[in-house]
Structure 1
Amino acid sequence: MISRTERLLNHTVLAFVSILVLFPVVWFFFTALSPNQGGQLDFGNLHWGNFGTAWRLGGFGHAMLASAVITIGAVTGQTVLAILSGFAFGVLGVAGQRVIFPVVLLGLMISAEVFIVPLYYTFQSLGLTNSWLGLIIIQIGMGVPFGTFWMRATFRAVPVSLVEAAEMDGARAWRILWQILLPISRPAVLTLALLSFMWTWNDFFLSLIFIADPSIQPATLALGVFQGRHSVDVNLLAAGSLIVALPVLVLYAFFQRHFIRGVLNGALKE
């Protein structure tokens, strides 16, 4: 049993760490509200109009729509393929999986910079550069290796007796997956979707390479262009950065309990 002194010490340490983590965030937020171009803090004169100015000057309306389309498409594809491949490798057993699964995991070890040039010319020949569809396909391909590993570990942690009981009752593979395994693995699936959303939304490198048309560029590229045009407007840069980061922050705020539980469950699995 934890003593009162130990509990007080734990709370003190956690409070101190929380302050260290939150202080830069709060500082950045008030910088975005600064009426001064240089971003000097002025708590008595908060300028909320900085967000509207940044939104208008940065053209974030079209950019946020582009990011939403790309991210939703990529996250949906990554999650579905990860569930199916994780089920195949973790429960059904795939012929030659001792060779195929390590090959899939190579996607986690090879940096995008290694194959970006041949990938670009391949997509250019297919007419998929400078398009949302091409970027969605690339993001799906980049995310499937991790998703496969994640869902395989999740499904293999389910007691084998549960799957065997379902098979004895006449349940086929699809029913076992959708009605038994997925409800049990909901925190892990939600965590995977949130991670995929965060990685895809925050992507800059792939978007920079494959998207050249300013009218379809995602939010991260729009923020980069905005930074180049308004490098001296620190308050507007902070406001634009918060605008781009807002969807990720909102999703995490709503699903943080599921996210933390999914990560902790994943840490206890193989």
Structure 2
Amino acid sequence: MSSRAEKIWNYVILTVMAVVVLWPVATFVTAALSPDRAGRPTGEIQWDNFVTAWNNAEFSRSMLVSLTITVAVAVLGVLLALLGGYAFGVLGVLGDKVFFPLVLLGMMISLEAIIVPLYYQFRALGLTDNLFGIILIHVGMGVPFGIFWMRAAFRTLPRGIFESAEMDGAGPFRMLWSIAVPNLLPAVYTFILLSFMWTWNDYFLSLVFLHGDNQTATVALGVFQGRHVTEVNLMAAGGLIVAAPVLILYVLFQRKFISGMLAGAVKE
């Protein structure tokens, strides 16, 4: 009886939590589909809100800019994270007791504390209003966490598999790409998804460093919402358009993401 009562209470608690989490989402979607400017439900569905938001905000250009930046950051970030995590977690590079804490220090630096000198430095180098410049900043800010994440993942693998591969004549890169990475795909997918989400959702850096035709989707959404303050349905539709790539990616890779997050409980 006690176990049955526990199951009932578990379902009740989970149902309440699901309602609390999903209610704002349902309200947001309802507002995006409402013909009423205030976003109130009317029983009618107006899909044209998405078309209007897409055209008025000029999302076709800004979404392409965001996608270019995000994909480049995710690819470069995961490559550097794999190499750094492998060096610190498996190879045991010389001076890792000193260099690894320096890498972790990069996770503790606040963007707001360095944004002004960073802007002037990049302006002197001609990297403001430049996609390569903002890609470089995002990669630099994400790599410390990536190295920390992948180092923890590499250290979950038994040392014996690397020793056996080394005895068979495999070099460091062969062990990395043929042995380590295939066994750590959930952690890799998780980092890619996190990197994609953080970069795609960035507003502050894009607002400071990019202008004009290089405007990202989040900045374009901010400008669009500023012009349509009284039209809640259009603002909600624009918000859903910008959020759609991250939501789709999460739905496609949710199992790998969850398994990768659970693998974060590693042994040292």
- TM-score normalised per structure 2: 0.97
CA contact (8 A) 2:106 2:144 kept: yes
Compute the displacement of 1:227 (Å): 1.1
Mapping 1:143-222, distance limit 5 Å? 143-213=142-212, 215-222=213-220
Percent identity at matched positions?
56
CA contact (8 A) 1:135 1:207 kept: yes
Compute the displacement of 1:268 (Å): 3.7
1:248-269 CA deviation, whole Å, 9 max, x = no partner? Answer: 0000011101101100111344
Paired with 1:34 and 1:196, the residues of 2 have a C-alpha distance of 33
Instruction: Give the equivalent residue in structure 1 for 2:110.
Output: 111
In the alignment of these two chains, the number of paired residues is 267
Instruction: Give the equivalent residue in structure 2 for 1:22.
Output: 22
Paired with 2:209 and 2:192, the residues of 1 have a C-alpha distance of 23
1:12-46 CA deviation, whole Å, 9 max, x = no partner? Answer: 2112111111111011000001111111111x211
CA contact (8 A) 1:82 1:151 kept: yes
Q: In the alignment, does 2:239 pair up with 1:244?
A: no
Mapping 1:1-270, distance limit 5 Å? 3-42=3-42, 44-213=43-212, 215-270=213-268
Paired with 1:269 and 1:230, the residues of 2 have a C-alpha distance of 51
Paired with 1:212 and 1:51, the residues of 2 have a C-alpha distance of 24
Compute the displacement of 1:48 (Å): 0.9
SS in 1 for 2:263: helix
Compute the displacement of 1:125 (Å): 1.3
**Structure 2 residue identity aligned to 1:96:** G
Compute the displacement of 1:4 (Å): 2.4
**Structure 2 residue identity aligned to 1:102:** P
Compute the displacement of 1:168 (Å): 1.2
Unaligned runs of 5+ in 2: none
Report the CA distance shift for 1:252/1:269 in structure 2 as closer, same or farther (over 3 A): farther
Paired with 2:265 and 2:207, the residues of 1 have a C-alpha distance of 33
Paired with 2:255 and 2:262, the residues of 1 have a C-alpha distance of 11
Paired with 1:231 and 1:108, the residues of 2 have a C-alpha distance of 36
CA contact (8 A) 2:90 2:154 kept: yes
Paired with 1:208 and 1:269, the residues of 2 have a C-alpha distance of 41
- TM-score normalised per structure 1: 0.96
Paired with 2:147 and 2:171, the residues of 1 have a C-alpha distance of 21
Paired with 2:226 and 2:170, the residues of 1 have a C-alpha distance of 58
CA contact (8 A) 2:86 2:151 kept: yes
